[in-house]
A and B are shown apart, each in its own frame.
Chain A
Amino acid sequence: MTEVASDAVASDVAMAATLLAIDPAGLGGAVLRGAPGSLRDRWLILLRQALPTGAPLRRLPLNAPDSRMLGGLDLAATLAAGRPVAERGVLAESHGGIVVLAMAERIEAGTAARLAAVLDAGEVAVQRDGLSLRQPARLGMVALDEGVSEEEAAPAALRERLAFHLALDFLPPGAAAEWRAGDPKDVQAARDLLPAIEAPEAVVTALCGAALALGIYSVRAPLLALRAARAAAALAGRETIEAEDMGLAARLVLGPRATRVPTQEAPPEEQPPESDTAEQPAEPPPEPPPDSPPDPGEGTDEKPDQPLDPAALQEMILEAARATMPSGVLAALGAQTREAARRAGARAGRAGAQRLSKQRGRPIGTRPGELRGAARLALVDTLRAAAPWQPIRRRDGKPGPLIRVTASDIRLLRFKQNTETTAIFVVDASGSSALNRLAEAKGAVELLLADCYVRRDQVAVVAFRGTTAEILLPPTSSLVRAKRSLAGLPGGGATPLALGLEAASGLAEEAVRRGRSPLLVLLTDGRANIGRDGKPGRPKAEADALIAAVPIRLGRIPSLLVDTAPRPVPYARQLAEAMGARYLALPSADSQRLNEAVNAARDTA
């Protein structure tokens, strides 16, 4: 899937819409990854056409408040009726159908967890605004993921639960011309047939074995693949799952989740060791194929007339999955892909940054107060406060509004300020002292993460060396991920300072879009010698870095340049000025002092 997917894959993508219409709740849904456009619209139309009449298809905007998403008190109806009336949220309203999640790559972890809980339970638990309700919400979700870089994607908690991962950008142009929507009658017939379809042990074993061989660890993946295969069999009007159903499931569910090429055929020497350790260090020995062809004695005793051979099925599944494996897996995660992705990422979403930076954080409760200036009224709580007094206030007999609210009832929203920082370390990993500096940066990251327990800060690390800049650690507050990513830090080579700065400002912009305050910490000796174009030459390299520094200053991103050179050169100071950064010479920085400096910068940022 490095270039353009085959026509077969394109027709699979259309098929996914029909399968999803058959079993939305079982399959969880789909991630549609790619730029908005006619393909995506066409796919959604396919889905709508295949859904049985009356099945809802609703859109959930990004940042929809809980009251819209989960439901809450319907104020108008409550006031009219004089008793609390619940309003269903978008999720409950989509019961039996599909919710489309806009801009899924920007969904926050908390929202993702709410959505995941609804997918798991098949109902919405509402404990809000004085209401306590459980509303059925057996539905599928379609996540529209417009992320461009690897780091920018729908939250893992959500991706994990949505069966189909469809990469629209790789489809051949005009693919949609061949797409035909499933007939709702066929879909209904398939729905009726679904419970009757047995899953032979060999099928389950083959799907599980294939998932392991592809390096897919969550058990949800083979389960979702099984449901996809069952839906495909139902659509074909069969009561048994055939090889072709499993092939389709492999292409739609397993392939895109692969984290490695099954080792039988993989050219092992092409896999760079560091990407291997960075991707899956905590996993068990990466040699599952030996034990994955299952013990033929097992399972066959229960069904002696088992016609299917799990090992052969598994081979077939793996072969099918290959068609949709992520390019990163097939081509090994090279620095080139990251570089390309990063360049693309730096361009995206400026408008979003403007819009979101005005956001004032999440409402975290209410307080009494005066309604003036920037204060925002908490309507429900205000009415709640006013409610008990209504009979008393009406006693004066004067005509007045239905609800009488006085100043003492006013409740204001309390917002959580965006004090959460994303500290981005940009580490010069070039030359001889690289190892030393990387170790310092790593130490400082660890110390900062220790503070994260209380502050919920995030940390990211960008390293630049040779002709590339790499995001070693995407923004995280997770020790587990930090440890994994920092395990193997490469060092040595030339100094592409401009690339490092670009990667960092890309991350900083993304942090701002997510409503966080970025803090940039650049560790370098200032001796840039590789330009933006990857060509050597000091004057060009230095000029490029100064240009790359400008957006950081213009974006008012608080930053700190730590000069690690034993004998500082004036250029580093000049660069700090261009970035609008503070300059700090720490020729023998240890991680403790570095941490103190960062903390100081953060506190005054």
Chain B
Amino acid sequence: MDLPSAAFDMDAEVKLAQSAREESPSAKPARKAPAGRQVFPFAAIVGQDEMKLAILIAAVDQAVGGVLVFGDRGTGKSTAVRALAALLPPMQVVANCPYNSDPKRPFPPREGAFETAMIPVPVVDLPLGATEDRVAGALDIERALANGEKAFEPGLLARAHRGFLYIDEVNLLEDHLVDLLLDVAASGENVVEREGISIRHPAKFVLIGSGNPEEGELRPQLLDRFGLSVEVRTPTDLATRVEVVRRRDAFERNPQKFVAHWEREANAIRRRIVAARRLLPKIAVPDAMLEAAAKLCMALGTDGLRGELTLIRTARALAALDGEREVTLAQLRRVAPPALRHRLRRNPLDEAVATTRVERAILETFGP
């Protein structure tokens, strides 16, 4: 949400943190985190095509909504999400803005000239042990203790603005944090009323969640926040498994060399995303496709319009990735399972066959 200036109100005493804070400078860990830790490259992930496609689609069009990756242990769910950051082209922000605000709509609103900067699109991890004050932001205790000053220290939601917020084991996230996320994800802004601080700031992010269904189910309201939902399974054929182990082993033994080895493929994916983003606004959705999407959703009895909208948007993003000019039935069919499987009217014990239901409906609606 873009904030009209009237929506920006804050306690007269509260000063917004104007500079991007480094990771809490005074709170020194005894050892420094290894600088520039290598991340397993996205391009080197074996198989798991649907998961990779969903992540690419979210990278092309953030408006598709979040991605939920649910499935077996040890399938590289979090590896894939963590590899996402390296794929995204940098974005322009107001320099040193803790909210990553867009220079076209600086926050807090300001007059006159200001510097801009290019930064990597944030992919922010929300770890399970996080406390609410760090998620939503709270009083900056350092400044309070040192100067008796009431300043707001932005939290993870501010840091994730215009980027991605990743929650591993999302089904184990504590309820009060889920409530907070649901509220912010729905409104696009984070409202903090704590300790005499009263502030609201924009917080629009793509939610990425992963988890193992054996650990418990996801609240339906949260499920609904995800545009796409992907099921991952352990590969069962030997060749794929051997390849997974070999690549993982090679990466661990020499990460630099491994990442360098995959650099060409990584660049190709980056170029594909950039090209797709450029193409996206030009992609037409023929009426026939709108109709087809509506028919499919009707056949499945999905709740509300969200399914239909996501289906179309996702198909457009895929068309852009494929370098097409308009959405075709092929794209619609391919994205229907991830866009719709979590929106079916729930028969709790039928959940596992949701994919089958979508596939059956595709066959019935569009033919083989």
User: Beyond A113-B128, A212-B238, A454-B219, is A136–B213 a contact (Cβ under 8 Å)?
Assistant: no
Closest to A197 in B: B253
Q: How far is the CA of A452 from the CA of B219 in the complex (A)?
A: 9
0/1 interface trace, chain B 166-209, chain A, CB 8 Å (1 if under): 00110010111000000000000000000110000000000000
Closest to B138 in A: A130
User: Beyond A204-B246, A218-B73, A220-B74, is A387–B130 a contact (Cβ under 8 Å)?
Assistant: no
Taking the nearest CB of chain A, how far is it from the CB of B251, in angstroms? Answer: 11
Check A86 against B144 for contact (C-beta < 8 Å): no
Check B348 against A450 for contact (C-beta < 8 Å): yes
User: Beyond A117-B128, A130-B138, A130-B140, is A391–B217 a contact (Cβ under 8 Å)?
Assistant: no
Check B195 against A384 for contact (C-beta < 8 Å): yes
Determine, out of A162-170, A422-430, A473-481, the stretch whose residues face the partner at the interface: A473-481
- Indicate if A176 sits at the interface (CB-CB under 8 A): no
Q: Which 6 A-B pairs have the closest CB atoms?
A: A391-B148, A86-B27, A127-B130, A127-B134, A218-B74, A387-B144
Taking the nearest CB of chain A, how far is it from the CB of B271, in angstroms? Answer: 29
Determine, out of B84-92, B229-237, B261-269, B329-337, the stretch whose residues face the partner at the interface: B229-237
Q: How far is the CA of A110 from the CA of B329 in the complex (A)?
A: 42
Taking the nearest CB of chain B, how far is it from the CB of A164, in angstroms? Answer: 17
Taking the nearest CB of chain A, how far is it from the CB of B75, in angstroms? Answer: 7
0/1 interface trace, chain A 55-97, chain B, CB 8 Å (1 if under): 0000000000010011001000010001111101000100100
User: Beyond A117-B169, A479-B351, is A364–B174 a contact (Cβ under 8 Å)?
Assistant: yes
- Indicate if A540 sits at the interface (CB-CB under 8 A): no
Q: How far is the CA of A392 from the CA of B147 in the complex (A)?
A: 10
Residues of A within 8 A of B217 (CB): 452-453, 477-479
Closest to A451 in B: B348
Q: How far is the CA of A456 from the CA of B346 in the complex (A)?
A: 17
Residues of B within 8 A of A92 (CB): 29
Of A73, A157, A284, A453, most buried by chain B (CB within 10 Å of CB) is A453
Taking the nearest CB of chain B, how far is it from the CB of A281, in angstroms? Answer: 11
Residues of B within 8 A of A70 (CB): 127, 129
**Contact of A130 (CB < 8 Å), options: B141, B175, B238, B253:** B141
- Indicate if A242 sits at the interface (CB-CB under 8 A): no
Q: How far is the CA of A212 from the CA of B240 in the complex (A)?
A: 12
User: Beyond A127-B135, A219-B235, is A364–B175 a contact (Cβ under 8 Å)?
Assistant: yes
Closest to B149 in A: A388
CB contact list, A469-489 vs B, under 8 A:
476-483
Taking the nearest CB of chain A, how far is it from the CB of B246, in angstroms? Answer: 5
**Contact of A222 (CB < 8 Å), options: B73, B127, B245:** B245
Residues of B within 8 A of A222 (CB): 241, 245
Check A204 against B33 for contact (C-beta < 8 Å): no
Residues of A within 8 A of B153 (CB): 130
Check B129 against A66 for contact (C-beta < 8 Å): yes
Closest to B21 in A: A132
User: Beyond A123-B33, A222-B245, A453-B217, is A131–B24 a contact (Cβ under 8 Å)?
Assistant: yes
Residues of B within 8 A of A389 (CB): 148
17 pairs from A and B in contact (CB 8 Å cutoff): A78-B145, A113-B169, A114-B129, A127-B134, A128-B129, A130-B142, A134-B23, A195-B253, A201-B246, A209-B238, A212-B236, A212-B241, A219-B235, A223-B248, A288-B236, A384-B133, A388-B195
User: Beyond A88-B29, A132-B24, A133-B23, is A109–B216 a contact (Cβ under 8 Å)?
Assistant: yes
User: Beyond A136-B34, A208-B241, A387-B141, is A82–B146 a contact (Cβ under 8 Å)?
Assistant: yes
Residues of A within 8 A of B236 (CB): 212, 217, 283-284, 288
User: Beyond A135-B33, A157-B215, A384-B139, is A113–B172 a contact (Cβ under 8 Å)?
Assistant: yes
Taking the nearest CB of chain B, how far is it from the CB of A28, in angstroms? Answer: 12
**Contact of B78 (CB < 8 Å), options: A120, A476, A478:** A120
Closest to A477 in B: B216
User: Beyond A84-B27, A117-B168, A291-B238, is A391–B176 a contact (Cβ under 8 Å)?
Assistant: no
Q: How far is the CA of A392 from the CA of B32 in the complex (A)?
A: 37
Of B138, B249, B352, most buried by chain A (CB within 10 Å of CB) is B249
- Indicate if A231 sits at the interface (CB-CB under 8 A): no
- Indicate if A294 sits at the interface (CB-CB under 8 A): yes
Closest to A414 in B: B176
- Indicate if A365 sits at the interface (CB-CB under 8 A): yes
- Indicate if B287 sits at the interface (CB-CB under 8 A): no
- Indicate if A601 sits at the interface (CB-CB under 8 A): no
Known: A84-B141, A212-B236, A477-B216. 18 other contacts (CB 8 A): A66-B131, A78-B141, A110-B128, A116-B169, A131-B27, A136-B34, A204-B246, A208-B238, A217-B234, A226-B249, A295-B239, A388-B139, A416-B175, A446-B348, A450-B348, A479-B348, A480-B213, A483-B349
Taking the nearest CB of chain A, how far is it from the CB of B119, in angstroms? Answer: 17
- Indicate if A543 sits at the interface (CB-CB under 8 A): no
Residues of B within 8 A of A205 (CB): 238, 242
Taking the nearest CB of chain B, how far is it from the CB of A438, in angstroms? Answer: 15
Tally of chain A residues near chain B (CB < 8 A): 91
Q: How far is the CA of A416 from the CA of B178 in the complex (A)?
A: 14
Residues of A within 8 A of B176 (CB): 364-365
- Indicate if A330 sits at the interface (CB-CB under 8 A): no
CB contact list, B27-65 vs A, under 8 A:
27-34
- Indicate if B126 sits at the interface (CB-CB under 8 A): yes
Q: How far is the CA of A113 from the CA of B352 in the complex (A)?
A: 23
Q: How far is the CA of A180 from the CA of B24 in the complex (A)?
A: 46
CB contact list, A274-318 vs B, under 8 A:
282-284, 288, 291-292, 294-295, 298-299
- Indicate if B156 sits at the interface (CB-CB under 8 A): yes
Q: How far is the CA of A103 from the CA of B162 in the complex (A)?
A: 43
Taking the nearest CB of chain A, how far is it from the CB of B125, in angstroms? Answer: 6
Taking the nearest CB of chain A, how far is it from the CB of B200, in angstroms? Answer: 20
Residues of A within 8 A of B237 (CB): 291
Check B351 against A83 for contact (C-beta < 8 Å): no
User: Beyond A109-B215, A208-B242, A483-B349, is A392–B135 a contact (Cβ under 8 Å)?
Assistant: no
**Contact of A117 (CB < 8 Å), options: B127, B196, B238, B242:** B127
Residues of A within 8 A of B32 (CB): 136
Closest to B153 in A: A130
**Contact of A69 (CB < 8 Å), options: B78, B129, B131, B241:** B129
Taking the nearest CB of chain A, how far is it from the CB of B132, in angstroms? Answer: 6
Check B131 against A362 for contact (C-beta < 8 Å): no
Residues of B within 8 A of A371 (CB): none
- Indicate if A125 sits at the interface (CB-CB under 8 A): yes
Q: How far is the CA of A204 from the CA of B138 in the complex (A)?
A: 50
- Indicate if A26 sits at the interface (CB-CB under 8 A): yes
Check B144 against A388 for contact (C-beta < 8 Å): yes
Q: How far is the CA of A291 from the CA of B237 in the complex (A)?
A: 8
Check A218 against B72 for contact (C-beta < 8 Å): yes
Residues of B within 8 A of A432 (CB): none
Residues of B within 8 A of A156 (CB): 73, 214
- Indicate if A44 sits at the interface (CB-CB under 8 A): no
Residues of A within 8 A of B144 (CB): 384, 387-388
Residues of B within 8 A of A45 (CB): none
Q: How far is the CA of A133 from the CA of B156 in the complex (A)?
A: 12
Residues of B within 8 A of A416 (CB): 175
